[in-house]
Amino acid sequence: MPRIAITLPDGSQQPVEAGSRPIDIAKAISPRLADQALVAKVNGELYDLTRPIETDATLQILTNHDPQALEVYRHSAAHLLAAAVLELFPETKLGIGPPIENGFYYDFDRPTAFTPEDLEQIEQKMREIRDRDLPYERVVTSKEEGLRKYADAWMKCELIDERAGDTFTEYTLGPHFIDFCRGPHVPSTSKIKAFKLLSIAGAYWKGDERNKQLQRIYGTAFFTQKELDQYLQKLEEAKKRDHRKLGKELDLFSIQDLAGPGLIFFHPKGGTVRRQIEDWMRDQYVRRGYSLVYTPHVARADLWKTSGHYNFYGENMFKRMELDDAEYQLKPKNCPFHILIYRDRQRSYRDLPVRLGELGTVYRYERSGVMHGLLRVRGFTQDDAHIFCAPEQIEDEIVSCLEFAVDTLHTFGFEDYEAELSTWDNGASGKYDGAPEQWKLAEDALAKATSRLNLKVKVMPDEAAFYGPKIDVKLVDAIGRLWQLSTVQFDFTLPRRFGLEYIAEDGKAHQPLMVHRALYGSVERFFGILLEHYAGVFPVWLAPVQAIVLPITDRQLDYARQVRDRLDAAGVRVAVDDRSEKVNLKIREAQLQKIPYMLVVGDREAQSGAVAVRNRKHGDQGARPVDDFLADIRRLIDSKAPSE
RNA sequence: GCUGGCGUAGCUCAGCUGGUAGAGCAUCUGAUUUGUAAUCAGAGGGUCGUGGGUUCAAAUCCCUCCGCCAGCUCCA
């Protein structure tokens, strides 16, 4: 028997017989390791523990400490799901069943829909099969034989036809189940300790809506029950923070059936929060050298034809309206309007850069199934600005855009974020607009700007918009979710379409570079993200009501109103709960409304000119002179402190 | 738009296999004047999302439309 050399992660080498299996080597190292082993990595490639190694190789045994092992583990759980479904509903056809970010799914084709009760039954069956301790076994099959074998499984045939070489691998699970699959898998079903099926959904075959719709079962699996429980708890937490729920509980906004879906009504309290968000942004625009403009909500179809939206974005626009003189359309974007302002007079290089900013409300037609609270709507307000500049100015402009974006994140309490730089394909496909020099200039400027700011950035090749490269900033919220937020995009197309120019030092007309940037993206969406990030507990500067005065009895009503007036005069958003109710009730309701400060006033406070301060997070803070409290809360408001 | 689920009082929800509506909270009225998360009592309030159908009889069964939810597809 020839011998091969296995190099372990610690660098040590071990000679073994060719054809040895990772599991044998693991056993030789330590029985404990063999017991914990889930999958192997041979020369960097994931291997089943039972797959023979034929040549010299590096070997790593992966256990439940490895994220890659978790993927394999979940993939195996998906097979377990498929096996359970086939035992219960043999007529079902299998699609694909990969691991995903937080679990796995499997797609099925079946004439009748799965019900929630089926889901429970399936999960029960999975446990049963798991307890049979069936091995996942890798089988190499020829394509020809495979097509014959899977003749009555149309999706598998399609996959084998498309993906398989002369041979392909499949995995068995017990005597009856076999699935076309690249693998690898954990050695046996008993390794799968903790899993749960979560939901049923429709999903198109191969993700294409022209294809047949299948039934997808989502589930998740973790190495331990504890981790699974933690994950389920996190889902619960996310549910509690749902901005739609909080929006109702805190009376911030609503969506009205009578008005239509995807159209947001900000109530007084939500309006107050939104005003803080918008005022901050407008103030920043001015400080950072942007000019604030206002533009209409509709324009003639001719404008949209010039901009190209009429043809290329028409699907997403509200239908045209006929007026006496022409067709008009609601704006889905602000860019053409800002361009018209730029173009309204001749520009000199001395005028550049021109930065036109607006909180512009746009309307987009979204298909009926896609609306989602504040996060996906049909009418929304962009903090939109367009920068027109000369090539030599571009890098500085990008740097300040990105600085602006990062400052915005910090202001609203987001500490973690990532940036993505989307670039073109160097012209390979011809699907991108603009000259190669333009692309190079723009991509270089974006890349340099990020390195000047030490911004960690992931390059996404061939992900650019067709009209130019872009940088997107994504934030990580309080419970670790990633949200797309700011975007800084080049646009080579619109300046050309509208014939934009400026007169340069050489006396000739040149085309300016145009950058489109939005930092909140959409004020509505940002509001929703913020609401979930803070779980409704807004920092004092954003809270709709910052303090509420709670008189203990009606005797202190006059004093309570004096306190209210004092704070109100100092610009604090303050209210009095003047109902003849017990202070316990008033406190409870103020707590539920997440009001930062409750100022309890009884006879003692009225006599000494004090308030008994109760903080929503830290409870009773004791009595203090009104002016002391005022100074403190003012400081928190002015500093936009993230938390009190 | 597609698949599945759902739509009962302002809110959260109950109402089994058809016999024509109920709770808690909220609201209003009265009493209570209370020291850090729910005082007590009484009252009012629903064309059971919409329109149609089956039936002696529909919140309950069937169909249409509207909306919501979970996904898919598409996106700020």
Residue A248, domain member (yes or no): no
A311 pLDDT higher than 70: yes
A550-562 pLDDT tens trace: 999 999 999 999 9
Q: How far is the CA of A419 from the C1' of B71 (A)?
A: 28
Tell me what the mean pLDDT of segment A468-473 comes to.
Answer: 93
Strand B close to A630 by CB, under 7 A:
no
Distances (CA, A) of A544 to A113, A154, A271, A345, A628: 46, 57, 8, 43, 22
Residue A308, domain member (yes or no): no
Residue A305, domain member (yes or no): no
Our count of domains for chain A comes to: 4
Sort A256 into a burial class: Cβ within 10 Å, 0-12 / 13-18 / 19+.
exposed
Token output for A124: 């029960």
* Single residue among A13, A28, A63 that ends a domain in this structure: A63
Q: Which residues lie closer than 8 Å to A46 by C-beta, 6 or more apart?
A: A39, A40, A68, A72, A183, A184
Residue showing tokens 């500490």:
A415
A280-307 pLDDT tens trace: 999 999 999 999 999 999 999 999 999 9
| Positive or negative torsion for Cα A138, A142, A147, A151 | negative
Share the mean pLDDT of chain A: 91
Residue type, A40: A
Q: Which of residues 242-271 of A touch strand B (CB under 7 A)?
A: 244, 248, 255, 257, 260-262
A5-43 pLDDT tens trace: 888 888 888 888 888 888 888 888 888 888 888 999 888
A175 pLDDT higher than 90: no
Q: How many CA atoms lie within 13 A of A217 on its CB side?
A: 31
Strand B close to A580 by CB, under 7 A:
yes
Question: C1' nearest to CA of A518: which nucleotide?
Answer: B76
Name the residue range of residue A564's domain: 547-639
A191-219 pLDDT tens trace: 999 999 988 888 899 888 888 888 999 99
Residue A542, domain member (yes or no): no
Kindly report the backbone phi and psi dihedral angles of residue A521, in degrees, each rounded to the nearest multiple of 5, phi listed first: 85, -85
A365-376 pLDDT tens trace: 999 889 999 999
Strand B close to A474 by CB, under 7 A:
no
| Domain identity same for A43 and A89 | no
| Domain identity same for A234 and A267 | no
* Alpha-carbon gap, residue A568 to A557, rounded angstroms: 16
* Alpha-carbon gap, residue A117 to A89, rounded angstroms: 14
* Single residue among A533, A559, A574 that ends a domain in this structure: A533
Tell me what the mean pLDDT of segment A84-106 comes to.
Answer: 89
* Alpha-carbon gap, residue A216 to A378, rounded angstroms: 28
A414 pLDDT higher than 70: yes
Residue showing tokens 């299996």:
A21
**CATH code, A627:** 3.40.50.800
Q: Which nucleotides on strand B sit less than 7 A from a protein beta carbon? A: 1-5, 11-12, 31-39, 66-76
A1 pLDDT higher than 70: no
| Domain identity same for A266 and A389 | yes
Q: How far is the CA of A115 from the C1' of B2 (A)?
A: 18
Nearest to A266 by CA among A398, A377, A167: A377
* Single residue among A478, A511, A533 that ends a domain in this structure: A533
Strand B close to A577 by CB, under 7 A:
no
A608-626 pLDDT tens trace: 999 999 999 999 999 999 9
| Domain identity same for A433 and A579 | no
Q: Is the entire prediction scored with pTM above 0.95?
A: no
Q: How far is the CA of A117 from the C1' of B56 (A)?
A: 37
**Per-residue pLDDT at A17:** 86
| Domain identity same for A126 and A148 | yes
| Domain identity same for A46 and A87 | no
Residue A581, domain member (yes or no): yes
Q: What percent of chain A has pLDDT over 90?
A: 61
Q: How far is the CA of A110 from the C1' of B17 (A)?
A: 28
Please state the separation of Cα A418 from the chain's center in Å.
11
Q: Which of residues 536-565 of A touch strand B (CB under 7 A)?
A: 552-555
Mutual angle of helices A557-569 and A626-638, in 10-degree steps: 40
**CATH code, A87:** 3.30.980.10
Complete edge-to-edge strand list for the sheet that includes strand A327-330: A298-300, A327-330, A321-322
For residue A170, the surrounding DSSP H or E stretch is: strand A167-173
**CATH code, A13:** 3.10.20.30
| Domain identity same for A103 and A158 | yes
For residue A62, the surrounding DSSP H or E stretch is: strand A57-62
For residue A615, the surrounding DSSP H or E stretch is: strand A610-615
Residue A301, domain member (yes or no): no
| Domain identity same for A58 and A80 | no
Residue A317, domain member (yes or no): no
Q: Which of residues 155-184 of A touch strand B (CB under 7 A)?
A: none
| Domain identity same for A115 and A170 | yes
Q: How far is the CA of A579 from the C1' of B42 (A)?
A: 20
| Domain identity same for A228 and A108 | yes
Residue A85, domain member (yes or no): yes
Distances (CA, A) of A575 to A488, A551, A561: 41, 11, 9
Strand B close to A582 by CB, under 7 A:
yes
| Domain identity same for A436 and A552 | no
Q: Which of residues 106-145 of A touch strand B (CB under 7 A)?
A: 113, 115
* Alpha-carbon gap, residue A339 to A520, rounded angstroms: 21
| Domain identity same for A107 and A184 | yes
Q: How far is the CA of A541 from the C1' of B29 (A)?
A: 39
A317-342 pLDDT tens trace: 998 899 888 999 999 999 999 999 99
Q: Which are the catalytic amino acids of A?
A: 335, 364, 382, 384, 386, 470, 516
